[in-house]
Amino acid sequence: MCLALPAKIIAIDETTDMATVALGEVKKEVSIALVEDVKINDFVLIHVGYALNKISPEEAERTLQLFAEAGLTE
């Protein structure tokens, strides 16, 4: 519900503005066309196939902790 997932960029295809992101063991292709200056190992919030914005590793960790606490990652 109205949630965006923090995920780590593990590969970038600059020709298509697409990236492979990882959340735990799961990998997914998302568009990075809406976010400027994305690099491998950056964390982004993803929602319906798009990276929405970059977040710091600390914010990503805090958010994932919160998801776990809310029982969303079980």
Instruction: Examine residue 45 and tell whether it contacts other proteins (CB under 8 A).
Output: yes
Instruction: Examine residue 29 and tell whether it contacts other proteins (CB under 8 A).
Output: no
Which of 11/72 has CB closer to other proteins?
72
The answer to whether 58 and 46 are in contact (CB under 8 A) is no
Residues in the chain: 74
Give the binding-site size for other proteins (rule: CB under 8 A).
29
Which of 25/41 has CB closer to other proteins?
25
Q: How far is CA 71 from the centre of its chain?
A: 19
Pair of tokens at residue 63: 């958010």
Pair of tokens at residue 7: 């995920």
Among 4, 14, 40, 54, binds other proteins (CB under 8 A): 4
